[in-house]
Amino acid sequence: MSYVLIVGAKSDIAKEVARTYAKNGYNLYLAARNVTSLEDLAIDIRTRSGVEVHLKELDITEYEIHQDFYDSLEERPLGVVTVSGYMAEQKEAQVEWAKSLNTINVNYTGTVSFLNIVANDFEKERRGFIVGVSSVAGDRGRKANYIYGSAKAGFSAYLGGLRNRLYESGVQVLTVKPGFVNTAMTKELDLPEKLIAQPLEVAEDIFKAQQNGGNVLYTKWIWRYIMFIISHIPEFIFKKMSI
């Protein structure tokens, strides 16, 4: 059976995405920094689903090695899901350049570098799917997290363009825009309970949307409407707001 490559496999969302693909019979490459801590997850998934799971060391910001990494995979994946992301505290990112830069590099530059390679290969093969986990934060810049948001905005635009380009070759590109998800990233934040999705829900939404040939997924679905409203607030009002 085909392989799916999951980048940023240590994330809570990725863990459930991996389990969901495995449950449906896909073999997995799990890529992350310091993959040794993923040994237990690999055993978990093999035990649950009886599929092949390989761990692969990858730092998404080390652009130089992306091509070699991709070429070294035993078997070309049928699909790639990028889940890696980084959200620095906005107040810190706006005064510490290193944090701003890492936010941009993890969420945008690094992922672009990597997906360019994947896209070129898939285009040639005329098959495959690419799922990029972006964020609703990219739909409009807000003072609370616009550095992260702008990197995700760039990534969403990139995925939109890629979808347009790869349409002809039959390669699917799915943009995923989660709202709030209960993960390590949001642990410290005080969020409205009703709007928070569990990683498993997000993973199931992603799998379903990908299998059904979806384009842009908001998860929970309500975020499509929330972001529609937020995007349509006139700028002269929006700039005075704190949301």
Ligand X SMILES: NC(=O)c1ccc[n+]([C@@H]2O[C@H](COP(=O)([O-])OP(=O)(O)OC[C@H]3O[C@@H](n4cnc5c(N)ncnc54)[C@H](OP(=O)(O)O)[C@@H]3O)[C@@H](O)[C@H]2O)c1
Binding residues for another protein, rule: CB under 8 A, are 23, 40-41, 43-44, 47-50, 193
Q: Does 181 bind ligand X (CB under 6 A)?
A: yes
> Closest approach of Cβ 56 to another protein, in Å?
20
Query: How many positions of this chain bind ligand X (CB under 6 A)?
Result: 25
Give which of 61, 146, 147 is closest to 99, Cα–Cα.
147
Region for 202 from its dihedrals, namely left if φ exceeds 0, alpha if ψ lies in -120 to 50, beta otherwise: alpha
Q: Does 223 bind ligand X (CB under 6 A)?
A: no
- Contacted by 43, from ligand X, another protein, none: CB < 5 to 8 Å by type: another protein
CA–CA dist 174, 217 (Å, integer): 7
> Closest approach of Cβ 208 to ligand X, in Å?
17
- The strand pairing partners of 218, in sequence order, are 177
Nearer to ligand X, 32 or 119 (CB): 32
> Closest approach of Cβ 124 to ligand X, in Å?
26
Nearer to ligand X, 1 or 98 (CB): 98
Instruction: Give the strands of the sheet with 3-7, arranged side by side.
Output: 53-57, 27-32, 3-7, 79-82, 129-133, 172-178, 216-219
CA–CA dist 129, 143 (Å, integer): 34
> Closest approach of Cβ 47 to ligand X, in Å?
22
- Contacted by 156, from ligand X, another protein, none: CB < 5 to 8 Å by type: none
- The strand pairing partners of 30, in sequence order, are 6, 55
In the region spanning residues 40 to 59, those forming contacts with ligand X, defined by CB under 6 A, are: 59
- Count H helices and E strands in the chain, helices first: 10, 9
Q: Does 6 bind ligand X (CB under 6 A)?
A: no
CA–CA dist 36, 207 (Å, integer): 26
In the region spanning residues 117 to 146, those forming contacts with ligand X, defined by CB under 6 A, are: 133, 135
CA–CA dist 210, 227 (Å, integer): 21
120-141 exposure pattern, b = at least 16 Cβ within 10 A, e = fewer: ebbbeeeebbbbbbbbbbbbbe
- Contacted by 23, from another protein, ligand X, none: CB < 5 to 8 Å by type: another protein
- Contacted by 178, from ligand X, another protein, none: CB < 5 to 8 Å by type: ligand X
Q: Which residues bind ligand X (CB under 6 A)?
A: 8, 10-13, 32-33, 59-61, 83-87, 106, 133, 135, 178, 180-181, 183-186
